[in-house]
Structure formats: C-alpha cells, structure tokens
Structure 1
C-alpha cells in the first residue's frame, strides 16, 4: 500500500506564498507548524513582494457617499469586481491615504474631534492612533495630514503640519506615540505654498511624501527616515510669468507631473533625479483622471466606468466596474480610487514581551 509523502517545508512555503491572505489566515489554524511559518516576518515580506510582482493590479474603491445598506469598499480589477465583503469602518470618514504595503490611513471627523486609524483590509486589523497635544484643525485650508513608511525600519508614520505653524507632529507606529518637532521650513515665506492632491494615492514613494507647490511648480517632500522636509526644483517654466496647472503623479519609481496645456492637451514630466526633469510625452486626455499607479492613469468614462491607460505601452484596459460616484471627488461624497496590494502586515499593538513587527522586519532587512 502506497504511503503519502508530506511536502517538504520549502515546497509548502512556496505553495503558501502563492495563496491570498484570506486563505492564509484560515490555514494558520491548520497546525502549529503552518501557523509559525505564516506568522514569520520573512514570510510576510516574501508574500508581499510576490504579490507586487506576479499578481494583477487591484484597486480599492471607497464610496464616501455610500448609503447605510450599500458597501463602502469594493475591490476591483480589470477582470471585474473581486470582492465587496469588507468591514464597515463607520461614518464620517473624510480622508483615506494609501495603500502602503497594503495598509491605509483613515481620518474620521466626529463632532470637532479628528480620529486617526491605520487599517489593513486583508487581515481586517484596525489600529487607532492615540491623541496628540497639537490640534488637527480640519477646516484649515493649509493643513496636511500624510502617511508614509520609513523604508529602513519598516515603521509606519503619520505627519501633521500647517504652513502657518513652525511646529509639526509625527506619529511612529513602533513608538505608538506622537512627537512634536520644529520643522525646517520657512513658514513665513509662503503661507499657502502646497497643493493638496485630491487623488491621495500618488504622493508617497520610496520613503518620502511629495507635494506640488502653488504656481512655481516646485516640489516639497518629507523624508520619513530622517524626519525632515526637503525642497527641490520642478520642471522649467515656459517663460517667467508662466503659471502651472498641474497634478503630482507617479511613473514607475519616479515622481511625475501632469500639466494641463490647453483643451485636452497635457504634458507629462518625469523627475530623473532631485530637481532634474525630462518631458516624457504630450498626451490628449478626454476623460476625467481619477488616480495613478505604476505607469498608468486611471480614468473615468462618460458611462461611469474605470479605464486604465499605460503611458509607456500606450495600452488601455476597461474595468467592468461602474459607479456614478466615480465622477465626483471624495471631498464631495464621490468615490476614491486607490491602488492596492494585499498583505499580511500586522498593525496590532504588541505586548512588552513581544517585538513589534517593524523591529522584526528591520532585522530581516539588515540580514538580506
């Protein structure tokens, strides 16, 4: 009688790495060995990297104006709707930032208070941020509340500042606390110098958050590792009095700018290195731009459907998902479109006897 041979640990690991997070969360309970393997920080890193390389792109649609009986979150790809069974995170959500390695930052306004939360949709973890001594004044037009990751320590951080104040606040997930610091910007030089990007998904890249400055098209960034602001030159002006009408975007691993020229004509600029720019191409966009990812625009058609356009390959893909809210900005109760890769990254608070995930991942980074 033939006996069944068990998979080797290496083969089992390869099989598990190819599975979605929902399946892995169930398989953690199969046996102690499987649970230990899936919970290992190196498995989390490898699963995320494999997801980025091999799995098709997905987009998380958040409906800011959803009725109580309608789903607020839908996961879609160019093949159709992937999932709508997400936890409902409550009402009064005013801002959703991310995702960064599968994690989102949520801002919620309750009466006059601002509540901040981190959220991983894949493993359904939610982490509420503690209060800070600095006031998050929601109606300030020059306020910025941004979300990023220190690439060396794998520590999620949130930064709040306004152009009128010389002090800013930064939250560190590993410390689980806010720190007030005096930033290095000249707050009196230009009190309203940064544009808020309504796309919300394209501002973070490789450890820095980026803003586009008004009119002169300079770039301001925040380095999450060193916790400092950095200013750099934008693309050259056509003439001295030229005012830009532009939005920040990402093209692969580069910061880009989409500048309105005339009618449906737009120029696409790419930053080759800090302050050095190259005009990549001129394109005609007849549809409303909703978001960006990789080398693609996410546009909304007249029939309220999403379509992606890759500027490198000149190829388009039509999504089967349709929603009238796609034509409106999130701040007006419309839908936000966020590029998304699911992950096993945990954001739960750990006890004193346990290492925080970011510390574990730091060790893995140093090893590799």
Structure 2
C-alpha cells in the first residue's frame, strides 16, 4: 500500500457497505461511479438483504387511527441493550395513496398493498419498498369481480424462479374457492390457473410465505352442502381459525414455481385451539392458542413446525411440537414470531390514566420469559408483520444465494 494514497480493497468496501442502512446506501451512490455500480449490482443487493435479514430484522405494526402520518410503525430491537425503538414509516409526497392502504404481505423488504384507487371492487394492488420509497402499481385483474362474493390475496417470492407472485382467490357461494388468478412480477401480467386441489375448500384471509410457497388456513368441506344450510364458522374478524364443525381444518400451500396448490393436514391436536400461521426458522409453523371450556385448564401456547414436506417435496408432511409456554396469567392474541420471540397483543383492551394503550408482549422461546412493551401511539393495533429493509427493486429480481 502506497503510504501517500489511501486505499481500501474492493472486498473490504463491499463488506462495509452491505452492513449500512438503505437510506445511507442511496446517498452513497453519489460518492463515485464505482460505488453506484456496486450498490445497484444484483449480487450486492442479495448480500445486503441477507445481512439485514440476519442482523437487523424488524416488525411492521399496522394501525388504524388518525394520529399518525401513515398507518404503519417500524419496531427495531437495539442489539446492544435489547430496547425496542419505534419509528413511523416514512412516505414520499407523491405516494399519498398509501395513507389508506392495507398490507397483504411482507417479503424481502417489499410490501404488497391493497388500496381503493378505482373506487370499485376488488381492491387495487401495489408493491412498495418503504426503504427506497419505490412503488409499482399492479395492473387490474381480468376477472369480473361482480361474479363473486369474496376475494382473498396472497404474496410471496420463489428463489427457484426468481419471481415475486401475487395470488388472488375468488369465491362464490359458501366462500368455496371458485377461480384463481396469479400475477408474476417477471411476466407483468395476470393469468388464470386451475384450482386443482382447492375444490370444496374454504380459506381464511390470513397468509404467510416461506420457502417459495404461500400458505393459508382453510377448511375442507365434508360431504355436500345444500342451499340454506349453515356456513362453516371461519372467524371473519380474526386471522386465525377455530375448530370447524362441518369440515376438516387444513393448511393450503401454493408452490410459486410450479403454480400448484397442495392441501396439507394440520397437526394432530388433542385439545381445542385457535391456530395462527407463522414462519419459524424459515419453515411454516403454527401457533396454537390452547383453550378449554373448563376454567381449571391453564391458558397456554404451543408452537408446531412443519419439519418436512414443503409444497415441492411430495406427500410427506411431518409436524413437530417445538415449544409449549408456561401457564399464562392473561389471554393474548397471537401475531407472529420475530427473532426468537412469539409476538402477541392483549386480547382485552389495556389502559392507563390517559386512555387506551398499545402493548405488545414478547415471549422468549428459549427462556419462556414474557415482557410487555408499551407502544408510543394509541391508535388501534390491527396486525404485525415481519419486515426487513432492503434495496430490492421491481426491475431486477434475483435468486438468493446460499
């Protein structure tokens, strides 16, 4: 190294830059042409995403209220002191439509949003990267929504085909799946696909994505239903499913690469429970909110993980119970898993001397310790999503490297 010239090898510069936040990297593209080319390079974007996923994952809180600029807050855990930092999600002035948007799903730093841009159903779809503020509006579907009673939407990414996919599932009578449309970001268009194994299945609106697949909870109907008979009770206002009296509770997966649906049996439970889909160690998992009619049975939470049988692996499905909580003193609504914590919100409203407060509870899967954190906003907390800042754009999809 020349003592008169400061020099850092390219690999050291790359290793430093991939650890920086997106906002800084966007600014640093102005430093020089080499830095700009590096930061926009697909392989660097992959490295930065992997670094952020393992070192800086955060939570995205979706709220309903008028006291915050946008209905989302980002929760970050400081790795040194373990305190939570909460900040509002920023928005550019050109994207004011985001104020009324709802989140469909979160994947690799991209959010799939539903908005009412056309003032008619179904809701419009957009892809948004909050870190870069980039937005891509998804074209309208070709299906006439007037022919259906309901529309469910899922969002995910497949490293096999290097593509982000939106799935729209349409239902008619009794909410049984009737038609399916798939939007490919690479293709840029919608196409109808065969419902296949979804015949006679009702789905809930909840969805998660893992390992190149999108998952829903559902009910496989048993026998034929005559007109006028009661519907299966899928809780419309909640994201988890209770036991179904007229059918079998199942998990439905959509393999993004193969564009095929598979019906997966749920874990064999010997207790009554509400189920919440989530992801643990990049595998499909289910949080079970254990309850009994007998008040003497303590309130507890189980975690089941699908150790075998992602949608590409065939007919073998193996569920393993990985965690059971200690008896809990309060009833909680299960939200997601973040780092090594089960994230919950209180089932009943909590208040202080100024009124209602938002509290999220974190249950450590290793220590069983439960901690509560009061959020700085009092707007009603709707949902919580796993989120990571990334440089991912809509024009340069890429395969994640192992």
Q: Could you tell me the TM-score, scaled by structure 2's length?
A: 0.75
Unaligned runs of 5+ in 1: 327-333, 348-355
Question: How far apart, in 2, do the equivalents of 1:245 and 1:83 lie?
Answer: 31
Contact 2:66 2:379 in 1 (8 A): no
Matched, 1:280 2:322: yes
Question: How far apart, in 2, do the equivalents of 1:139 and 1:112 lie?
Answer: 13
Question: How far apart, in 2, do the equivalents of 1:237 and 1:138 lie?
Answer: 38
Unaligned runs of 5+ in 2: 78-82, 220-243, 293-297, 310-316, 351-356
Cα root mean square deviation, aligned: 2.8
Question: How far apart, in 2, do the equivalents of 1:317 and 1:20 lie?
Answer: 28
In the other structure, the counterpart of 1:329 is none
How many angstroms does 1:116 deviate by?
0.5
Matched, 1:306 2:306: no
Question: How far apart, in 2, do the equivalents of 1:85 and 1:277 lie?
Answer: 37
How many angstroms does 1:276 deviate by?
1.9
How many angstroms does 1:299 deviate by?
2.0
- CA gap 1:89/1:340 in 2 versus in 1, 3 angstroms: farther
In the other structure, the counterpart of 1:154 is 162
Secondary structure at 1:212 match in 2 = strand
In the other structure, the counterpart of 1:208 is 213
Secondary structure at 2:249 match in 1 = coil
In the other structure, the counterpart of 1:17 is 18
- CA gap 1:92/1:2 in 2 versus in 1, 3 angstroms: closer
Q: Give deviations 1:297-349, integer Å, cap 9, x for gaps.
A: 212353522232122342445545333335xxxxxxx43322111000011xx
- Comparing 228-237 with 79-88, greater Cα deviation is found at 79-88
Matched, 1:258 2:287: yes
Secondary structure at 2:379 match in 1 = helix
**Structure 2 matches for 1:1-368, cutoff 5 A?**
3-55=4-56, 57-67=57-67, 70-78=69-77, 79-84=83-88, 86-87=90-91, 89-90=96-97, 93=100, 95-110=102-117, 111-113=119-121, 114-136=123-145, 140-141=149-150, 143-163=151-171, 164=176, 166-187=178-199, 189-190=200-201, 193-197=202-206, 203-214=208-219, 215=244, 216-238=248-270, 244-259=273-288, 260-262=290-292, 264-274=299-309, 275-283=317-325, 284-285=327-328, 286=330, 287-300=332-345, 302=350, 303-319=357-373, 321-326=375-380, 334-347=381-394, 356-358=395-397, 361-362=398-399
Question: How far apart, in 2, do the equivalents of 1:269 and 1:6 lie?
Answer: 51
How many angstroms does 1:59 deviate by?
1.2
How many angstroms does 1:10 deviate by?
1.5
Q: Could you tell me the TM-score, scaled by structure 1's length?
A: 0.81
Contact 1:305 1:322 in 2 (8 A): no
Secondary structure at 1:289 match in 2 = strand
Secondary structure at 1:62 match in 2 = strand
Question: How far apart, in 2, do the equivalents of 1:279 and 1:265 lie?
Answer: 13
Contact 2:70 2:98 in 1 (8 A): no
Secondary structure at 1:357 match in 2 = coil
Q: Give deviations 1:61-101, integer Å, cap 9, x for gaps.
A: 2323335x634332222434353251164267453033211
- CA gap 1:308/1:186 in 2 versus in 1, 3 angstroms: closer
Question: How far apart, in 2, do the equivalents of 1:2 and 1:33 lie?
Answer: 23
Contact 2:284 2:305 in 1 (8 A): yes
Question: How far apart, in 1, do the equivalents of 2:345 and 2:301 lie?
Answer: 17
- CA gap 1:6/1:92 in 2 versus in 1, 3 angstroms: closer
- CA gap 1:76/1:266 in 2 versus in 1, 3 angstroms: closer
- CA gap 1:76/1:107 in 2 versus in 1, 3 angstroms: same
How many angstroms does 1:237 deviate by?
4.5
